[in-house]
Amino acid sequence: MEELIGGVWHRLVTKAADRRHAKAAVTLDEIRKTAGILFRAFGGDPGLELSASPEVRHGARRRVLERLAGSGDRIELAWRDGAALRLPLRIDLFPDRVLNRDLYLWLVAITAHACDDRMPWILRSQQATLDCLWNFPGLSGRYNRLVQNLLPLRPDPAGMPPDEAAQEHAIRRALQFPGTVTALPPSRRPFQPVPLWPHPEPPGVRTASMSCGDGDQERPSGSRSFSVNNRRKHLTDRTETPDGKNGFLLPFRAESLLSWAEYIKVNRSLDDEQDAGNAARAAADLERLTVTRDGAASATKLRFDLDLPPAGADDVLLDEGIPLPEWDWKKRVLQPDYCRLQVMVARDSSPRELPEELRRPARILRRRFQAFAPARGWRKAQPDGEDLDLDAWVSHESDRKAGIAAAARGWYRARNEPTRNLACLLLADLSLSTDAYVSDTARVIDVIRDSLFLFSESLAAAGDDFALHGFSSLRRNHVRFHQIKNFTEPYSAGIRGRIAAIKPGYYTRMGAAIRHAGALLARQGSARKLLLLLTDGKPNDLDRYEGRYGIEDTRAALREVRRLGLRPFCVTIDQDANAYLPHLFGVNGYAVIHRSAQLPQALPLLYARLTQ
């Protein structure tokens, strides 16, 4: 009975204390695409990803009901750092959904303008507001509506101590008349957060996938095991790994026990745990996570070995390694000979026919692509050729017998071998993430394999020059570049055998693979050259090739291939690709396939549209 009454009381108090408006809520996922476009249009750094900001304690005065319910002590504020633009995961501040959406757009606009971080927060926020309204006067109406609806939600200065009231008056004036407040009066308590302005002191946030040392083994890139709610980043502290000795209990008092929110430096079993779901929920409730590395955690939990296979069991190396540069975006320098790329070919491939389940769609695609092949014919009146041009000879003899002076002309005809003057190199991502299942029966690598089969059948029917390559990596000195078909090889049963032999590799050092593929394609004499990248996730590797570093190196590699006269285009099945591909390939330089199973038939048709 006590538990029942307590539960009812808790629900009543919590509901009475809650001033949010769930029915009018707008989520970050709803506004994500618009926010990314507007942030770049407003002049924001195009290399920043969009992520959810963590909840932080504000320490400001709360209402009596909020203190009783234990709520209202955290808030999500917007800010940006060198890696991401961080926005609230959900905005339900106003009862009007339009206002909540306008608040998202305003936060995007105000964070796009960089201000001097050395300025006090009150001055920095006012300056960002003035710059935003000056550069984009169309936002004035939205800003004024937001301020008018925000002020009634803020605490009334009349019921506050003098020092806190002075602070609140200053904040209200700065919101209504930006630029008129020169300093924030001191107070014993923190001020009530201002949702229209960026975070006063953005906390340090580390991404979930930290850059790893040489001994670490991380999860496969592009893992689909994370839900939308996991996009919220957590505040983290890093600590040293426990020394390996088992902990033991000493005599203690019960009141001295630490809560589960506090880190204790002792070993904890990671194998065969049954509380993974509970741990995820507990992590979502924590304000700050403490993280460490133990060298074997990832390999133990994921149960896969990333060591290279023995030379006798690995694919055949075709060279000793090609040195390639890599772009360091922080130093803004191209590091020469920083990576080493090994060209490889499948060891155990054997000639084979097209799989039975692909023969019918292949026939349909071949008939469609045969229409793209230029018709063959004969060039007449040539000075030399494969056959005698009887029409030219008869015309010449008729003119000679009629006494007409015949002009010199060719008496032969030559076969016309027309071509579309087009070359395409398809570069397929064969990283570890392609071992993930996209359905009950098919993995990502199976979908890529079927795509390569149908793509090859289609281009062979059209008569276009094409090459197929795959890539993966294991740190910078081992970028694996798999040769499936080069430009000089005809499409045959042997090539189908190499396609059938592709398998998941390691990680995704995309920049080095793009640079080498671009060099191969640039050597072709065709007038048009298409570099087609097929992937399922972001660039990443075990070393620092993660996050912004990998994105910027890939972008630099794409700039280099464009200078060679190539056209890069990306086809991806990553549903989060809109957050980073516009920065890499441009707005019209990529396509997202929302249903992975449709990729095999969608890829040739997409190629047809790109090359018409």
What per-residue confidence (pLDDT) applies to 493?
94
Q: What angle do CA 531, 559, 577 make, to 5 degrees?
A: 65
Q: Could you tell me the residue ranges of all domains in the chain?
A: 2-176, 228-302, 316-370+420-611, 377-416
Q: For residue 2, name the pLDDT band (cuts at 50, 70, 90).
A: confident
Per-residue pLDDT, averaged over 434-445, amounts to 89
Least confident of 54-68, 218-232, 308-322, 340-354: 218-232
What per-residue confidence (pLDDT) applies to 243?
53
Q: Which residue has the higher pLDDT, 603 or 377?
A: 603
CATH 3.40.50.410 fits 316-370+420-611, yes or no: yes
Instruction: Calculate the alpha carbon distances from 348 to 351, 493, 500 in Å.
Output: 10, 14, 10
What per-residue confidence (pLDDT) applies to 402?
75
pLDDT for residue 147 is more than 90: yes
Q: For residue 546, name the pLDDT band (cuts at 50, 70, 90).
A: confident
Give the best-scoring range by mean pLDDT among 61-75, 134-148, 363-377. 134-148
Per-residue pLDDT, averaged over 527-554, amounts to 92
What per-residue confidence (pLDDT) applies to 269?
47
What per-residue confidence (pLDDT) applies to 196?
92
- Each residue's pLDDT tens digit, 32-81: 888 888 888 888 888 888 888 888 888 787 777 777 777 777 888 888 88
Least confident of 106-115, 246-255, 524-533: 246-255
Q: For residue 547, name the pLDDT band (cuts at 50, 70, 90).
A: confident
What per-residue confidence (pLDDT) applies to 53?
85
pLDDT for residue 543 is more than 80: yes
For the CA atoms of 582, 213, 541, 471, the dihedral, rounded to the nearest 10 degrees, stands at 160
Per-residue pLDDT, averaged over 318-336, amounts to 91
Q: Where are the beta strands (DSSP E) in 329-450?
A: 333-345, 377-382, 387-388, 412-416, 422-429
The dihedral through the CA atoms of 328, 333, 334, 340 has a sign that is negative
Per-residue pLDDT, averaged over 171-197, amounts to 91
Q: Which residue has the higher pLDDT, 309 or 556?
A: 556
First to last CA, the chain: 75
What does the block give as tokens for 69? 């319910």
What per-residue confidence (pLDDT) applies to 582?
87
- Each residue's pLDDT tens digit, 445-495: 999 999 999 999 999 998 899 999 999 999 999 999 999 999 999 999 999
Q: Which residue has the higher pLDDT, 304 or 320?
A: 320
Least confident of 117-126, 143-152, 289-298, 466-475: 289-298
pLDDT for residue 274 is more than 90: no
Per-residue pLDDT, averaged over 165-171, amounts to 92
What per-residue confidence (pLDDT) applies to 75?
84
Per-residue pLDDT, averaged over 406-432, amounts to 79
What's the mean pLDDT when you consider all of the chain? Answer: 81
pLDDT for residue 218 is more than 50: no
Question: What is the pairing mode between strands 26-27 and 90-91?
Answer: antiparallel
The dihedral through the CA atoms of 182, 187, 190, 194 has a sign that is negative
DSSP string, 444-482: HHHHHHHHHHHHHHHHHHHT-EEEEEEEEESSTT-EEEE
Distance of CA 6 to the CA centre of its chain: 46
Residues 6+ apart with CB under 8 A from 59: 73, 189, 190
What per-residue confidence (pLDDT) applies to 46?
82
What per-residue confidence (pLDDT) applies to 220?
39
Q: Which residue has the higher pLDDT, 266 or 511?
A: 511
DSSP string, 210-257: ----TT--PPPTT-S---GGGGB--EEEE-PPP-SPPP---S--GGGP
What per-residue confidence (pLDDT) applies to 419?
63
Question: What is the pairing mode between strands 528-535 and 479-485?
Answer: unpaired
Instruction: Calculate the alpha carbon distances from 433 to 51, 427, 449, 457, 554 in Å.
Output: 22, 16, 14, 26, 18
Q: For residue 112, name the pLDDT band (cuts at 50, 70, 90).
A: confident
Least confident of 386-395, 466-475, 509-518: 386-395
Q: Which residues pair with 91 in a beta bridge?
A: 26
Per-residue pLDDT, averaged over 301-308, amounts to 48
pLDDT for residue 611 is more than 60: yes
pLDDT for residue 24 is more than 50: yes
Q: Which residue has the higher pLDDT, 397 or 359?
A: 359
The span from the CA of 23 to the CA of 38, in Å, is 25
Per-residue pLDDT, averaged over 353-365, amounts to 94
pLDDT for residue 359 is more than 50: yes
